[in-house]
Amino acid sequence: MSARPAAATARPTALPDAVPDGAPGLDTTLTEFLIGEQRKFPGATGEFTALVNDLRLACKRIANVVGKGSLAGRSGKTGTINVQGEEQANLDVLANDMFVRTFLRGGTLAAMVSEEIDDVMLIPADQPRGRYLLAFDPLDGSSNIDVNVSVGSIFSVLVDPDRDAAVDAKAFLQPGRQQVCAGYAIYGPTTMLVLSFGRGVHGFTLDREIGEFILTHPGMQVAPETSEFAINASNSRFWEPAVTRYVDECLAGSSGPRGRDFNMRWVASLVAEAHRILLRGGVFLYPRDDRASARRGKLRLLYEANPIGFLIEQAGGRATNGERPILEVTPSALHQRTGFVFGSRSEVERIEAYHRDHNTRPYDAPLFRARGLFRDVASQG
Ligand code: F6P
């Protein structure tokens, strides 16, 4: 009589319930999250999942170098100027190479646009062409790197509108509303990846010991109200009346028309600013102004304002160029600049209303200024 192996006769056992969700060290990974998302679309080919995997890889590569700081031997400037007319840091160039290298052979993209490259970058003919277009800022806020302040990568994914035609700049000139994925990586005390596929915003923290992003911030929401605003006030003499009025009123605090005190913040790193606003509310303004360099704004529509605007809207906040939702603007150039205001809904709506008010009507010096200490002293003298 031949003995049958024990395994063949054993009853199949259901997987144990013994490992509850959220058990230490067993939280949801980005991989699990992506598999779950892919299953919601039974016809999915896995190409989108592969693309997000490559985004993760590019950001992990950059996090690794940024996290080494001076030890990586990559500090300082290259001595070259990018398409924006800005001095490039060595890490800008390296981070750009990391994105390009990661995606060149991934088979998910038809073309890329980067802050650091003048023109559309096509996937070479000897590589498989994918169905997506990627616009990215490889290292945003890079003036902060050498002083060890948080920086980040920002990315926006569109669908290639014509898979049979050669990709040109026009293919990228789609309103931000058409993004299928947007997000950023923030390289701070921890590295986080914050993503939206158009179904909410989710934050993942890099666990360096296991090399995986863990879902730590599911369903991020921007607080609807705030008493915190962020603007580079050194440009105040160039602002439009709507912005001057908004900031004047915040600065007047409890003795002005807002009747409460406000905090002001400015990190000069869009990713850090957006992250703070996603976590605790706030409003960010980089408006267009009267400087020759900023008449159309400073930030770039395709790979800064659009992806951040998409995340903010997905998290229940609001994002505008002052006149209309940023995601409704049809871009006319790859590296187009824009005024950009985003954050807690009620404050952004107020700023939009001030823009409407002061389109035709100038902003008069506010009465609450006359109550200031120095004016009182001056008028007594
Ligand atoms: O676009 C690059 C950037 O560094 C953003 O990250 C940041 O919000 C802004 O520029 C800072 O600009 P400024 O140096 O004019 O305050």
151-159 and 181-187 strand pairing: antiparallel
Chain-centre distance for alpha carbon 168:
24
Cβ 158 vs Cβ 180: under 8 Å: yes
Helix (H) or strand (E) holding 39: helix 30-39
What residue owns the CA closest to ligand 1's atom 13?
268
Total Cβ atoms within 10 A of residue 304: 27
Examine the pLDDT at 70 and tell me if it is beyond 50. Answer: yes
Cβ 276 vs Cβ 312: under 8 Å: no
pLDDT tier for residue 366 given thresholds of 50, 70 and 90 = low
pLDDT tier for residue 74 given thresholds of 50, 70 and 90 = confident
Report the percent of the chain where pLDDT is more than 90.
Answer: 78
What residue owns the CA closest to ligand 1's atom 3?
141
The identity of residue 27, as a single letter, is D
Question: Which is nearest to 259 in space by CA: 143, 130, 137, 368?
Answer: 368
pLDDT tier for residue 203 given thresholds of 50, 70 and 90 = very high
Ligand 1 centre from 266 Cα, in Å? 9
The residue-averaged pLDDT of 337-364 equals 93
Ligand 1 centre from 268 Cα, in Å? 5
The token pair that represents 356 in the structure block:
């409407």
The pick from 83, 270, 340 for probing ligand 1's pocket by mutation, whose C-beta has the most ligand atoms within 8 angstroms, reads: 270
pLDDT: is 293 or 179 the higher one? 179
Ligand 1 centre from 196 Cα, in Å? 23
Ligand 1 centre from 4 Cα, in Å? 71
The token pair that represents 297 in the structure block:
């704004």
Question: Which is nearest to 251 in space by CA: 277, 266, 233, 234?
Answer: 233
Examine the pLDDT at 233 and tell me if it is beyond 90. Answer: yes
Helix (H) or strand (E) holding 123: none
The token pair that represents 164 in the structure block:
């049979």
Examine the pLDDT at 197 and tell me if it is beyond 90. Answer: yes
Ligand 1 centre from 267 Cα, in Å? 8
Examine the pLDDT at 54 and tell me if it is beyond 50. Answer: yes
pLDDT tier for residue 143 given thresholds of 50, 70 and 90 = confident
The ligand 1 atom at the shortest distance from the C-alpha of residue 140 is 6
Examine the pLDDT at 99 and tell me if it is beyond 90. Answer: yes
Examine the pLDDT at 1 and tell me if it is beyond 70. Answer: no
Write down the pLDDT at residue 40. Answer: 93
Examine the pLDDT at 22 and tell me if it is beyond 80. Answer: no
Write down the pLDDT at residue 169. Answer: 97
Kindly report, residue by residue over 280-313, the tens digit of the pLDDT: 999 999 999 999 989 999 999 999 999 999 999 9
Cα-Cα-Cα-Cα dihedral of 66, 133, 203, 263, to 10°? Answer: 80
Residue with tokens 């409460």, as numbered in its chain: 260
Residues within 6 Å of ligand 1 by CB: 140-141, 143, 232, 268-270, 286, 298-299, 304
Mean pLDDT, the chain, whole residue set: 90
Write down the pLDDT at residue 161. Answer: 97
CA angle in degrees (0–180, nearest 5) for 185-80-192: 5
The pick from 299, 303, 341 for probing ligand 1's pocket by mutation, whose C-beta has the most ligand atoms within 8 angstroms, reads: 299
How many angstroms separate the CA atoms of 71 and 127, rounded? 35
Examine the pLDDT at 125 and tell me if it is beyond 70. Answer: yes
How many angstroms separate the CA atoms of 137 and 104, rounded? 16
Domains of the chain: 6-217 (3.30.540.10), 228-380 (3.40.190.80)
What residue owns the CA closest to ligand 1's atom 8?
270
Question: Which is nearest to 246 in space by CA: 373, 370, 352?
Answer: 352
The ligand 1 atom at the shortest distance from the C-alpha of residue 273 is 8
Q: 370-373 long-range contacts, Cβ below 8 Å, gap at least 24?
A: 371/255
Question: Which is nearest to 305 in space by CA: 221, 184, 193, 223?
Answer: 184
228-230 and 283-286 strand pairing: parallel
Examine the pLDDT at 4 and tell me if it is beyond 60. Answer: no
Cα-Cα-Cα-Cα dihedral of 362, 365, 366, 368, to 10°? Answer: 170
Question: Which is nearest to 74 in space by CA: 98, 97, 92, 100?
Answer: 92
pLDDT tier for residue 372 given thresholds of 50, 70 and 90 = very low
Kindly report, residue by residue over 335-345, the tens digit of the pLDDT: 999 999 999 99
How many angstroms separate the CA atoms of 211 and 44, rounded? 27
Examine the pLDDT at 333 and tell me if it is beyond 90. Answer: yes
Cβ 169 vs Cβ 179: under 8 Å: no
The lowest-confidence range among 16-30, 46-60, 220-234 is 16-30
Write down the pLDDT at residue 285. Answer: 98
Helix (H) or strand (E) holding 52: helix 47-68
Ligand 1 centre from 352 Cα, in Å? 22
**What Rg do the C-alpha atoms of the chain give, in angstroms?**
24
Ligand 1 centre from 269 Cα, in Å? 6
What residue owns the CA closest to ligand 1's atom 12?
268
Examine the pLDDT at 381 and tell me if it is beyond 50. Answer: no
CA angle in degrees (0–180, nearest 5) for 136-138-143: 130
